[in-house]
Amino acid sequence: MQVPAPFEYERATSVDHAIALLERLGSEARLVAGGHSLLPMMKLRFATPEYLIDINDLHDELGYIRVEGDEFRIGAMTRHRELLESDELAAAFPIFRDAEKVIADPVVRNRGTLGGSLCQADPAEDLSAVCTTLDASCVIRSSDGERVLTMHEFHRGPYETAVEDAQMLTEIRIPIRPNGSSAYEKVERRAGDWAIVSAGAAVWMDGETISDARVGLAAVGPNTTGIGAISEALRGQVPTEELYATAGGLAAEASRPSADSRGTEAYKRHLADELTRRALRRSVARITGTNGQEA
């Protein structure tokens, strides 16, 4: 058994209480939600917080998936399993269910949360890529009030976010747009492993042409990456294999992978290309009702 260093434990009863505890306990305090990233790091003593503030009792307050106006709002304490099982979410954004099916295993999914995943800011993290793809925004609350950031603003670097001391991520907002669909493609060494590379795509169509498209990649650079050049290249175009290839090429070009035990740089760049094509193809097929197989 790996044992963590000593720490103090507090249990928050509301978001306001959690923020008050963060303010009082200072920069050595950490929130723990599902704990599937933080606790292993503590057991390995890579993380040695002095205080843990358990926010699992906040699931009532922050565990929700609902539509408000023209956006989906998902509470930061919504667990993977709830994201996986939400038919409403899957109907609007199939990418969520695609991704959740390949995130870790049922034990982790029962406990891990959307907010925890995003705040971990691992460059290979799946939901960060999903949120980037869907142009999500993040609501961060402090005692001064709320601010709303784009994913780009939220992610400052590997394992680093815009959430400062005495602040917490409370909600993710995703704009709903008509005639769109989405998909997620991931290659992993083994079920439940982090992605070697993964690609999310979201496409919106106007008749036969693509009105807008977004691609988000994971594990090919310091951060999950939305690729603007792909959106530009796809807008106004009729989807074809050649177009997907162009997008794949742009994805590979935009990738800055590093070699590690999951793969070589060249392989990861290849996957960025291949998985971008697949994710776009599947997204379009979901809109047009075709099967999305290789042309």
Partner 1 sequence: MTVTDNPVASFHDNDQHPVGFGRMLRKEDPRLIRGKGNFVDDVQLPGMLHLAILRSPYAHAKILGIDVSAAQAHPNVVAVITGADLAEQGLAWMPTLSNDVQAVLATDKVRFQHQEVAFVVAEDRYSARDALELIVVDYEPIDPVMDVRKALEPDAPVIRDDLDGKTDNHCFDWETGDAAATDAAFAKADVVVTEDIVYPRVHPAPMETCGAVANVDQISGQLTLWCTSQAPHAHRTVYALVAGLPEHKIRVIAPDIGGGFGNKVPIYPGYVCAIVASLVIGKPVKWMEDRTENLVSTGFARDYVMRGEIAATSDGKILAVRTNVLADHGAFNGTAAPVKYPAGFFGVFTGSYDLEAAYCNMTAVYTNKAPGGVAYACSFRITEAVYLVERIVDCLAHELDMDPAELRIKNFIQPDQFPYTTKTGWVYDSGNYEPAMRKAMDMIGYDELRREQAEKRERGELMGIGIAFFTEAVGAGPRKDMDILGLGMADGCELRMHPTGKGVLRLSVKTQGQGHETTFAQIVSEELGIPPEDLEVVHGDTDNTPFGLGTYGSRSTPVSGAAAALVARKVRDKAQIIASGMLEVSVADLEWMKGSFQVKGDPEKSVTIQDIAMKAHGAGDLPEGVEGGLEAQICYNPENLTYPFGAYICVVDIDPGTAHVTVRRFVAVDDCGTQINPMIIEGQVHGGLTDGVGMALMEIIEFDELGNCLGGSFMDYLIPTALEVPDWETGHTVTPSPHHPIGAKGIGESATVGSPPAVVNAVIDALKPFGVRHADMPLTPSRVWETMQGNHTPPI
Residue 67 contacts partner 1 per CB under 8 A: no
Check binding of 261 to partner 1 (CB under 8 A).
yes
Nearer to partner 1, 41 or 176 (CB): 41
Q: What is the 3-state secondary structure (H, E, C) of the chain?
A: CCCCCCCEEEECCCHHHHHHHHHHHHHHEEEECCCCCHHHHHHCCCCCCCEEEECHHHHHHHCCEEEECCEEEEECCCEHHHHHHCHHHHHHCHHHHHHHHCCCCHHHHHHCEHHHHHHHCCCCCHHHHHHHHCCCEEEEEECCEEEEEEHHHHEEECCEECCCCCCEEEEEEEECCCCEEEEEEEEECCCCCCEEEEEEEEEEEECCEEEEEEEEEECCCCCCEECHHHHHHHCCCCCCHHHHHHHHHHHHHHCCCCCECCECHHHHHHHHHHHHHHHHHHHHHHHHCCCCCCC
| Residue 89 binding partner 1, by CB under 8 A | no
CA nearest to 235, candidates 218, 224, 250: 250
Among 13, 143, 240, 264, binds partner 1 (CB under 8 A): 264
For position 278 contacting partner 1 by CB under 8 A, the verdict is: yes
Residue 262, interface with partner 1 (CB under 8 A)?
Answer: yes
- Specify the residue, 75 or 257, whose C-beta has the smaller distance to partner 1: 257
* CB closer to partner 1, 6 vs 178: 6
Q: Which residues, 195 to 254, sit near partner 1 by CB under 8 A?
A: 196
Given the structure tokens 């379009």, which residue do they identify? 284
Decide whether 46 or 69 has the Cβ nearer to partner 1.
46
Sign of the Cα pseudo-torsion (162, 164, 169, 173, in order): negative
Under rule CB under 8 A, residue 50 binds partner 1: no
Residues 1 to 30 in contact with partner 1, rule: CB under 8 A: 1-3, 5-6
Q: Which of 57, 193, 212, 253 binds partner 1 (CB under 8 A)?
A: 193
Cβ 80 vs Cβ 108: under 8 Å:
yes
Sole window of 72-80, 92-100, 113-121, 267-275 interacting with partner 1 (rule: CB under 8 A): 267-275
Q: Pick between residue 184 and residue 194 the one whose CB is nearest to partner 1.
A: 194
Q: Of residues 9, 68, 69, 191, which one binds partner 1 by CB under 8 A?
A: 191
Q: Near partner 1 by CB under 8 A, which window of 23-31, 58-66, 119-127, 263-271?
A: 263-271
Segment contacting partner 1 (CB under 8 A): 27-35, 61-69, 233-241, 259-267? 259-267
Residue 192 within binding range of partner 1, rule CB under 8 A: yes
Does residue 62 touch partner 1 according to CB under 8 A?
no
Give the binding site for partner 1 (CB under 8 A): 1-3, 5-6, 40, 44-45, 105, 187, 189-194, 196, 259-264, 266-268, 270-271, 274-275, 278
